[in-house]
Amino acid sequence: MAQIQFSRGITEDVVPDVRLTRSKTGDSATATFIFQNPKALSNDTTEEITGMYLIDEEGEIVTREVKGKFVNGKPEALEAVYVMKSTQEWDRFMRFMQRYGEENGLELSKS
């Protein structure tokens, strides 16, 4: 079971828009996640956002680079960036995304 959390133990229900970039050599890559109106920003949630946790049967991938987007003082979106610095990190991330995508109806489209 692949899931994304912003506070440990609380699974985010909103499926993000994910954008990937990778260097020509494949040594580094960046994944940008954009969550529109996520549960983590709802009025019902009192938990602190401590990072973005990508959790599956292999373990956990963590990034602390999470930013909120506010419109007229109201929370609207979260943007999280995960930077990969090796082909091993890329491969691990892609395995997570394969599982998460299958469970949540995401598919890869190349631009």
- Does residue 31 lie in a domain region? yes
Average pLDDT over the chain, rounded to an integer: 92
Taking 90 as the threshold, does the pLDDT of residue 52 lie above it?
yes
Mean pLDDT of 45-56: 91
From 6-10, 44-48, 73-77, the region with the lowest mean pLDDT: 44-48
Residue 15 lies in a domain: no
What CATH number is given to the structural domain containing 64?
2.40.30.220
pLDDT band of 73, cuts 50, 70, 90? confident
* H-run or E-run covering 73: none
Query: Does residue 14 lie within any of the structural domains?
Result: no
Q: What angle do CA 58, 62, 66 make, to 5 degrees?
A: 145
What whole-number distance in Å separates Cα of residue 14 and Cα of residue 20? 19
Which pLDDT does position 111 carry in this prediction? 60
- Residue 30 domain flag: yes
Q: Can you give the pLDDT at residue 109?
A: 66
Q: Does any domain span residue 82?
A: yes
Residue 74 has pLDDT above 80, yes or no: yes
Question: Residue 25 sits in which domain range?
Answer: 3-8+21-103
The number of distinct structural domains making up the chain is: 1
The model's pTM: 0.90
Establish if 108 belongs to a structural domain: no
**Residue 76 forms part of a structural domain:** yes
Report yes or no on 36 lying in a domain.
yes
